[in-house]
């Protein structure tokens, strides 16, 4: 193992142990708020959490030793905070979340084992496209897909219930990255100038229009505003990175505004989301009390919070998924929510740093897309809970309760670590070659 790899893994180990201590401390505080005795399952939780962290750490040490040192500790602390809050809300759900965390770590290790070179994924771009579209359409199949909370996002195969769209978003980003690498020169060619902005020929806007139309189809048939926004935002961000043309951002923003206005005119559930966002108080007593209760939760939390286990976040309907950030705000206050936001900023910043440092165009775009998934999801759900934007049905990555989202996000982090390791290995090889050349020149 190189010196760079040793330093990064030592840093990861130290930061990860600090994250484990934070999570265990939070779990003890939640348990002591309910009873004067330490929880009987504390030892099992402690052993399980440390075992999962060390399993992921050893997998990185063996399979991606030069990878970024901050991603895994950040994931541990965010996932741990989510577990602590879920345990405070419902012990049964916390047990389920711990099992899904174990499945997520298993998927994390499997991804590092199977994907030894990211560029291999580029060869199967159209396979990933077909599988991704198939997974998106799976909830529409009779007998398999079903609606929950007004959105048709779920599929049931035997005893297993899952959200196919969580896996589809990763597969589609593979296709987006490969497609943009192949077509970036064509898409970068600007022929239409409006002021200081240079736009491509209208015939080259086909991919953007296609993704826009597909996002609207997801909104129409699955009534899923969050996934529709996510797919379109990720593609526009990747398109901008590939072409460095601000005109695509302008066109994308215009298409988004047109799609949002059309959706508002056509679909009653979009109108309900907007009206609840603008004025949630009149409908608070008609089964739409989430936003109002969320506002009260943030207000009760104040600066330092009520304390873990001392608030009343269970008043918020479905608090463990869409509104878990409000529960954090009530019991940990502005300090706690700021810490969570900083955690996500560091996570997203690390992902974009990996994208910037990547040498291969596909790796750069792939890392950009994967990081944008986490960033957009975080912004959309936190913005919705705090009434910055209308609420959508997207979970807070690593924090909210939910198996499909948790497993998909662990896979995303594994892929980012693989890209980081490849970049560092390539840089080490370049340095070694330069050293050899200098030595050869001195000898000669």
CA distance 118 to 414: 11
What integer pLDDT is reported at residue 232 of this predicted model? 82
**Ordered per-residue pLDDT tens for the chain, 444 residues:** 788 889 999 999 999 999 999 999 988 888 887 777 777 777 788 888 889 999 999 999 999 999 999 999 999 999 999 999 998 888 888 888 999 999 999 999 999 999 999 999 998 988 998 898 888 888 878 878 776 666 667 788 777 778 888 888 899 899 889 988 887 877 776 666 666 666 666 666 666 677 777 777 776 666 667 777 788 888 888 888 888 877 778 878 887 788 778 777 877 777 877 888 888 877 666 556 788 888 889 999 999 889 888 888 888 888 888 899 999 999 999 999 999 999 999 999 999 999 999 989 999 999 999 999 999 999 999 998 998 888 877 789 999 998 889 999 999 999 999 999 999 988 877 766 666 667 666 665
Structure tokens at 68: 């970024």
Q: Would 222 be classed as within a structural domain?
A: yes
Same domain, 136 and 226: yes
Write out the two tokens for 67: 């990878």
In a domain, 78, yes or no: yes
Instruction: Let me know whether 391 and 419 are in one domain.
Output: yes
Spatial distance between the Cα atoms of 150 and 317, rounded to a whole number of angstroms: 14
Instruction: Residue 360: name the closest of 427, 410, 437 by CA.
Output: 427
Cα torsion 182, 183, 184, 189 to 10°: value is 150
Tokens of 79: 């996932």
Please indicate, yes or no, whether residues 186 and 219 belong to a single structural domain of this protein.
yes
Give the pLDDT of residue 202: 65
Alpha carbon distance 1, 8 (integer Å): 11
Radius of gyration of the chain (CA): 23
Length of the chain: 444
Tokens read off for 166: 């969580």
* 137 and 238 in a common domain: yes
State residue 42's pLDDT score: 74
Give a yes or no: residue 282 inside a domain: no
CA distance 347 to 349: 5
Shared-domain flag, residues 444 and 305: yes
Same domain (yes/no): 79, 199? no
pTM for the full model?
0.91
Same domain, 68 and 173: no
Judge residue 439's burial from the number of C-beta atoms within 10 Å of its C-beta, 0-12 exposed, 13-18 middle, 19 or more buried: exposed
Tell me if 281 is assigned to some domain.
Answer: no
Name the residue range of residue 131's domain. 122-266
Q: Which of 217, 248, 266 is the last residue of a domain?
A: 266
Q: Is residue 396 part of a domain?
A: yes
Verify that 211 and 342 share a domain, yes or no.
Answer: no
Last residue of a domain, one of 266, 289, 321: 266
Q: What single-letter DSSP state applies at residue 195?
A: T
Lookup: tokens for 229: 């926004």
Q: CA-CA distance, 364 to 121, in Å (whole number)?
A: 13
- Do 221 and 169 share a domain, yes or no? yes
DSSP-derived letter for residue 321 is T
Question: Based on the domain organization, do 38 and 73 belong to the same domain?
Answer: yes
Same domain, yes or no: 54 and 175: no
CA distance 339 to 344: 9
Among 223, 245, 266, identify where a domain stops: 266
Within a domain: 67: yes
Count how many Cα atoms sit within 13 Å of the Cα of residue 201 in the half-sphere of its side chain: 6
Does the residue 321 lie in any domain? Answer: yes
Same domain for 237 and 135:
yes
Number of domains in the chain: 2
In a domain, 375, yes or no: no
83 near 97, Cβ under 8 Å?
yes
Task: Provide the pLDDT for residue 110.
Answer: 97
């Amino acid at each position: 193992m190189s010196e760079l790899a040793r330093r990064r893994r030592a840093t990861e180990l130290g930061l990860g142990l600090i994250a484990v201590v934070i999570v265990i401390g939070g779990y003890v505080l939640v348990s002591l708020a309910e009873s004067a005795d330490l929880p009987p399952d504390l030892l099992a939780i402690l052993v399980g959490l440390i075992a999962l962290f060390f399993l992921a750490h050893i997998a990185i040490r063996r399979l991606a030793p030069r990878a970024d040192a901050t991603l895994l500790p950040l994931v541990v602390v965010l996932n741990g905070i989510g577990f602590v809050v879920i345990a405070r809300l419902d012990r049964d759900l916390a047990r389920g979340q711990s099992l899904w965390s174990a499945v997520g770590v298993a998927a994390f290790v499997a991804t590092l084992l199977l994907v030894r070179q990211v560029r291999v994924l580029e060869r199967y771009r159209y396979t990933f496209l077909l599988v991704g579209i198939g997974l998106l359409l799976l909830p529409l199949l009779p007998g398999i897909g079903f609606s929950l909370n007004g959105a048709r996002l779920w599929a049931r195969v035997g005893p297993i219930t899952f959200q196919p769209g969580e896996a589809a978003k990763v597969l589609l980003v593979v296709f987006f990255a490969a497609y943009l690498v192949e077509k970036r020169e064509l898409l970068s060619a600007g022929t239409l100038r409006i002021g200081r902005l240079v736009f491509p020929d209208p015939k080259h806007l086909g991919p953007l229009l296609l993704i826009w139309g597909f996002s609207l189809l997801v909104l129409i048939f699955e009534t899923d505003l969050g996934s529709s926004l996510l797919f379109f935002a990720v593609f526009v961000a990747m398109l901008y990175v590939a072409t460095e043309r601000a005109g695509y951002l302008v066109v994308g923003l215009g298409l988004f505004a047109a799609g949002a206005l059309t959706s508002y005119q056509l679909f009653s559930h979009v109108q309900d989301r907007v009206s609840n966002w603008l004025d949630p108080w009149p409908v608070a007593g008609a089964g739409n009390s989430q936003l109002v209760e969320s506002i009260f939760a943030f207000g009760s939390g104040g600066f330092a919070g009520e304390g873990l286990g001392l608030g009343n976040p269970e008043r918020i309907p479905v608090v463990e998924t869409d509104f878990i950030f409000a529960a954090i705000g009530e019991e940990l206050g502005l300090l706690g929510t700021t810490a969570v936001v900083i955690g996500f900023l560091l996570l997203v910043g690390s992902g974009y740093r990996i994208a910037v440092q990547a040498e291969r165009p596909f790796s750069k775009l792939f890392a950009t897309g994967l990081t944008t998934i986490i960033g957009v999801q975080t912004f959309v759900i936190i913005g919705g809970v705090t009434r910055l934007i209308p609420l959508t049905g997207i979970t807070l990555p690593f924090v909210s309760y939910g198996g499909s989202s948790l497993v998909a996000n662990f896979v995303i982090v594994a892929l980012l670590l693989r890209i980081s390791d490849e970049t560092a290995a390539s840089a080490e090889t370049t340095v070694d070659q330069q050293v050899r050349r200098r030595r050869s020149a001195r000898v000669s």
